[in-house]
Amino acid sequence: VKTIGVLTSGGDAPGMNATIRAVVRTALANGLKVKGIMRGYAGLLDEEIIDMDAKSVSDIINRGGTILYTARCPMFKEPEVQKKAADICKKNGIDGLVVIGGDGSFQGASRLAENGINTIGIPGTIDLDIACTDYTIGFDTAVNTAMEAIDKVRDTSTSHERCSIIEVMGREAGYIALWCGIANGAEEILTVEHYDGNEQRIIDSVLEKRKVGKKHHIIVNAEGIGDSYGLAQRIEAATGVEARATIIGHIQRGGNPTCKDRVYASTMGAKAVDLLIRGKTNRVIAYKNGEFVDFDIQEALAMKKELDPYLYSMAKKLSR
């Protein structure tokens, strides 16, 4: 491999810049060239490709977002589009590609590998919903951001003796909700994976906790369930306890990455380049059982993981 391309795809995540920096500098340290591809696969198709040197990644390890910008690119599912993208890589001398993103982005990376471009995926998403890995870039920062926001809501919720419904990100996955629910000592955690829609049970629980003297009632609600304002209104109407909804939103996707996100994201970037140098392709970097490892992309995509059942049942016991 002589020239490595790097792109970020799907939702951005704090720590992606640390990965880009690690890819660029590891490649340069090994005498390779690096090209940055702007706006994910969409930018690749538009040939938005820039040369990168050591200085192009200065002052970014501490910054959220991605200096390469990102996009979702539904048309990348089409075989002819994938072939065109591989041809563009070849035309620009890119013979190794690092794709930072989620499952959808890995599917695209795998197709590029079939079309003759050596590709390595790196899991970047605040959702933690990539089955092959216990760590995804940005989750640590996102849960810390959400946790701090929920602490603040809790202060005012207690002063006013209210019920607060706080919606965290995760359209399809409840990891942020579960971790914040535990970290913030929430009375209730609603995740897409477990919620059965039984509002009466929530209402009963609000009334019960009032009886034992609880001053607030924190409900962490995952975005996938949504309707936080509606839920607040219904709880207030049924219990007489004032209820307010807060949607934390995209604040969770930004901000300076935590130390863990900077270090793990850097390690994954460096390891991706190591794999390309060793002639590997169609692999994804993962962090599993305390170690950085790599898997075949298709094997990784076929893996399943559930929202940690122990953490979930523990959270219920701790919220009494």
Active site residues: 127
Helix (H, G, I), strand (E, B) or coil at 277: helix
The footprint of ligand F6P on this chain (CB under 6 A) covers a number of residues equal to 9
Residues in 248-267 at the binding interface with ligand F6P, rule: CB under 6 A: 253
Identify which of residues 162 and 253 has a Cβ nearer to ligand F6P in the complex: 253
Is residue 223 near ligand F6P by the rule CB under 6 A? Answer: yes
The rounded distance, in Å, linking the Cα atoms of 13 and 122 is 12
Is residue 170 near ligand F6P by the rule CB under 6 A? Answer: yes
Identify which of residues 170 and 181 has a Cβ nearer to ligand F6P in the complex: 170
The rounded distance, in Å, linking the Cα atoms of 182 and 315 is 6
Question: From the list 17, 65, 124, 127, which residue makes contact with ligand F6P (rule: CB under 6 A)?
Answer: 127
The rounded distance, in Å, linking the Cα atoms of 112 and 97 is 9
Is residue 171 near ligand F6P by the rule CB under 6 A? Answer: yes
The rounded distance, in Å, linking the Cα atoms of 68 and 49 is 10
Identify which of residues 110 and 252 has a Cβ nearer to ligand F6P in the complex: 252
* Closest-approach residue to ligand F6P (CB): 171
Identify which of residues 13 and 98 has a Cβ nearer to ligand F6P in the complex: 13
Q: What sign for the dihedral angle of Cα 133, 138, 143, 144?
A: positive
**Residues in CB range of 199: below 8 A, 6 or more apart:** 231, 234, 235
Is residue 209 near ligand F6P by the rule CB under 6 A? Answer: no
The rounded distance, in Å, linking the Cα atoms of 282 and 247 is 38
Residue 240: exposed, middle, or buried by beta-carbon count in 10 A (0-12, 13-18, 19+)?
exposed
Q: What angle do CA 260, 263, 267 make, to 5 degrees?
A: 135
Q: In the numeric block, which tokens belong to residue 81? A: 């589009």
Which range in 37-45, 163-171, 278-286, 301-309 contacts ligand F6P by CB under 6 A?
A: 163-171
104 in a labelled binding site = yes
| 215, containing H or E segment | none
Which range in 169-177, 192-200, 286-294, 309-317 contacts ligand F6P by CB under 6 A?
A: 169-177
Is residue 125 near ligand F6P by the rule CB under 6 A? Answer: yes
Binding residues (CB under 6 A) for ligand F6P: these are: 11, 125-127, 169-171, 223, 253
Give the annotated binding-site residues for ATP: 11, 72-73, 102-105
Give the annotated binding-site residues for substrate: 125-127, 162, 169-171, 223, 244, 250-253
